[in-house]
Amino acid sequence: AQSVSQHNHHVILSEAASLELGCNYSYGGTVNLFWYVQYPGQHLQLLLKYFSGDPLVKGIKGFEAEFIKSKFSFNLRKPSVQWSDTAEYFCAVNARAGNMLTFGGGTRLMVKP
C-alpha cells in the first residue's frame, strides 16, 4: 500500500523567509503527486500537481514543487513567504493503478508578520 510522509508537523517562519516542506512517498510505480493547502476555516484547495514531464512544477501563489523520482520526494517550496501563507499543507499521492489519493499527515505553517 502506498503511504506519504511529511516530516515537519509544525513550521514557524518570519515573513520573507524561504520555505521548503518535505514530502516522501512509498510506492514503486508511476504516481501523480499533489499539494493541497487549507487556510484557517476554509476548505482544502489544490496548490499544484505533477502528472508527467518537467519535474519542477509551478502552482498558484508563487509555490513550486520538485519531483525527484530517485528520492521518492515531492518537496514544496516558496522563495519568500507571506503572512497570508499561514495554513496547513498536505502532500498527496495517487498511484496510477489506483483510484484514490493518499494524504500525508499535514504540515502546519505559521508565518509571523
Distance CA 77, CA 15 (A): 14
Query: What is the sign of the dihedral through the CA atoms of 111, 22, 30 and 44?
Result: negative
CB nearer to other proteins: pick between 17 and 72: 72
Q: How far is the CB of 89 from other proteins (least distance, A)?
A: 11
Sequence letter at residue 95: A
Q: Does 26 bind other proteins (CB under 8 A)?
A: no
Q: Does 51 bind other proteins (CB under 8 A)?
A: yes
Q: Does 6 bind other proteins (CB under 8 A)?
A: yes
37, 90, 93, 111: which one contacts other proteins (CB under 8 A)? 90
Distance CA 108, CA 38 (A): 9
Please give the backbone phi and psi of residue 61, each rounded to the nearest 5 degrees, phi first.
60, 30
Residue 104 is placed in which grid cell?
500525508
Q: Does 32 bind other proteins (CB under 8 A)?
A: yes
Give residues 65-84 in contact with other proteins (rule: CB under 8 A).
none
How many C-beta neighbours within 10 Å does residue 102 have? 18
The residue count for binding other proteins (CB under 8 A) is 26
Residues that bind other proteins (CB under 8 A): 4, 6, 9, 32, 34, 36, 42-46, 49, 51, 90, 92, 94, 96, 98-106
